[in-house]
Structure 1
Amino acid sequence: MSSATSTRQADTVERLFAAGLAELREVGHEALTIRSVAARAGVSSATAYTYLASRNHLFVELFWRHLNEAPVADGTGSRAGRVQEAVRSLTTRIAEEPELAAAVTPALLGSDSDVERLRLRIGAEFAARFESALGDGAGEAVREALLLAFSGALLQAGMGLMTYDEMADRLAPVVAVIVGEE
């Protein structure tokens, strides 16, 4: 493959993701179609499906990209404080794109291989951020409990039982209990 071809493909992918986010913001996840994203990006539906396996794949990829732009906790303060800061950074980032947040919960439950691959990367990103915030000396059970609490809270927020803005506040005392700093 030539450099010009790979550059053109990368440009097409970026246009599709930009169009997907714009379409999601404009019409919401229930009305969005790959065909409408393709039209907005100025490519054929067939071209869009070359890069996007499904709407779920689009939503999860957009979420992954959005999540990676969340600031990383600075690593100061108590262990519980650092984890709480990591949680707040992630939840604030998620809350910044409400349509994406609404789309990603059901999308993450999808079974296609592209979603599964990204779901694992997203989980690994959460784990890495918590690991970094915990520092040395935290046991495996503490890390696992944090991930389970965070993913459970994400699911509850996705179901509308709390907002993403409320999530960090509700998780703060849970984090303190898990890391043993009540």
Structure 2
Amino acid sequence: MSMEATRRRLTQKQADTVDRLTQAAMDVLAREGFAGLTVRMVAAQAGVGTATAYTYFSSKEHLVAEMFWRRLAATDAPAGDEPESTARVLAVLRQIALLMADEPTLAGAVTSALLGTDPDVAHLRLRIGGEIRRRLIDALGPDADPELVETLEMIYAGALVRAGMGYASYAEIADRMEKSALRVLKS
């Protein structure tokens, strides 16, 4: 899976700069929270010029969405060893829900970022959604019902928004999401 930034193809040097920026963003986010995060701060932390940072990221929302995309893309889907599709689907949903469970600051920032209107964020939302859809279809099998896939996507999206809003931890949301998905899968 490609790890290139969403705005253009990158040389190795540019890819290294994007890596430095996304790593620096994690540090700034942990220190300042999403409200205090700025692309300028991230650039300074990464040791690059602000203009350079804006070459790759149009906004802080774009930067945070890219961080989530990279984390998702770097995580292999759960092995499809389970003979039953229900178990495979639940493993996919749990894995995605727990992707940021140990980093609540990042998780909340991702929720805010993905709800933004930045066109670069919209592009990443499509990539993220497409990857999650692919994983669900793979888990369900070749005859996956499109309506079932859409319902599972809605369960996932709603659950993560609830977690991002602070209604429950990501671990608790993973459990609740599993229960909701089971109800749908067994009907």
Structure 2 distance, partners of 1:65, 1:115, is: 13
Size of the alignment, in residue pairs? 177
Q: Which residue does the alignment assign to 1:179? A: 185
Q: Deviations over 1:101-135 (max 9, x none)?
A: 01011111111111000010011111111111111
1:79 aligns with 2:82: no
One-letter amino acid matched to 1:87: L
| Letter of the 2:125 counterpart | R
Structure number with larger C-alpha Rg? 1
1:1-182 correspondence runs (5 A)? 6-75=11-80, 76-180=82-186
Instruction: Give 4+ residue runs of structure 1 displaced > 6 Å after superposition.
Output: none
Q: Contact 1:102/1:158 (CA < 8 Å) preserved in 2?
A: yes
Provide the C-alpha distance between the structure 1 equivalents of 2:162 and 2:98, rounded to a whole number of angstroms.
16
Q: Which 5+ residue runs of structure 1 have no aligned equivalent?
A: none
Give the match's secondary structure for 1:30.
helix
What letter matches 1:88 in structure 2? R
Aligned to 2:7: none
> Mean alpha-carbon deviation: is it higher for 127-136 or for 22-31?
22-31
TM-score by length of 1: 0.90
Q: 1:38, 1:45 within 8 Å by CA — same for their partners in 2? A: yes
In 2, Cα distance between equivalents of 1:171 and 1:13:
33
Q: CA deviation at 1:35?
A: 1.0
In structure 2, distance between residues paired with 1:63 and 1:138: 26
Cα distance, 1:167 vs structure 2: 1.5
- Shift of residue 173 of structure 1? 2.3
Q: Distance in 1 between matches of 2:19 and 2:143?
A: 41
Q: Percent identity?
A: 44
Say what the alpha-carbon RMSD is for the aligned residues.
1.6
Partner amino acid, structure 2, of 1:103? A
